[in-house]
A and B are shown apart, each in its own frame.
Chain A
Amino acid sequence: MTTPVSSMVLILVGSVIGSAGAIFLKSGAYQVNRHWTSIAFNWRLAVGIATYLVSSVLYVKGMSNGELSVLFPLVSLGYVCTLVWSRLFFQEVITKMKLAGVGLILVGIAFLSLGSR
């Protein structure tokens, strides 16, 4: 079984979109208070959830054709994007520990993928 490039593109786009959705979820989370309207009329949460749905549909499409061993590592690129987003939008500090942690996770996923060939 080979993995079509179209599946790889779907997964790549899905993981970038999904990581971007987390930006909206986090900024929306700050708006939530005791009033139900703060959730019901929270456009940031709505955008975040919609973004997740779109990325999941892309994942489902992508995963339905191709090998998980190739597609899994592509999903993990979303973690790298998240480091960039969190610095850009929330002024979070990219510490060496975070780089090391994400780096280890990427290496681990690469090994898992090798093992599932």
Chain B
Amino acid sequence: MTPATSAPEVHVPDPAKRKLAIFIVLGCTVLVAIAQYLIKLGANHLSHAGLVGTMMGIFTIPQLFAGYCLYGVFTVMFVYALRHGELSILYPLIALGYVWTTITAVVAFHEHMNPYKIVGLLVIICGVGVLGWGSGGK
């Protein structure tokens, strides 16, 4: 599967954990999608707030607070993943969150699906696939 090729780092890359890191981040994108939705909901309450007002809002607006808590969980898991995987692969994988966000918007909030969105989703999924697969055998 993933041959232990060149290991230039002092940090010994464990192929199994590297793979696990990819799946952890992919799983985390669901959390990010939920968090982003909550934050967007909360952000509507502070279109006229200043920077300080925005910071306060994180603690006073429930949706914002919940969104940031989810981001906290995500961060812990992301740090674990970063320890075992490559930044240049794991960070862009977060883009899979766009797919969940769009699907949620269509299914739960009856936003319209159109050809552009469908193409966009498929292309993002391809990109994530290429990144994940490319990290296996290089």
Contacts and interface: CB of A to CB of B under 8 A. Distances in A.
A, B: real partners: yes
Interface of A: 19, 22-23, 25-26, 28-30, 32, 45, 48-49, 52, 56-57, 59-61, 63-65, 68, 72, 76, 78-79, 82-83, 85-87, 90-95, 97-98, 100-116
B89 to A, nearest CB: 7
Nearest to B137: A97
Interface string B87-109: 11101100100100010000000
A100 B130 contact: yes
B83 A105 contact: no
Contacts of A93: 138
A56 B72 CA distance: 12
A112 B95 contact: no
Contacts of B118: 115
Contact of B130 (A57, A82, A94, A97): A97
Most central of B75, B88, B130 by chain A CB within 10 Å: B88
B3 interface: no
Interface in B46-69: 46-47, 49, 51, 54-55, 57-58, 64, 68
A98 B88 contact: yes
A57 B46 CA distance: 12
Contacts of B51: 57, 61
Contact of A105 (B11, B92, B114): B92
A107 B131 contact: no
B138 A91 contact: no
Nearest to A19: B91
Most central of B82, B86, B92 by chain A CB within 10 Å: B92
A56 B58 CA distance: 10
Contacts of B117: 111-112, 115-116
Contact of B92 (A32, A59, A91, A102): A102
Contacts of A82: 87-88, 91-92
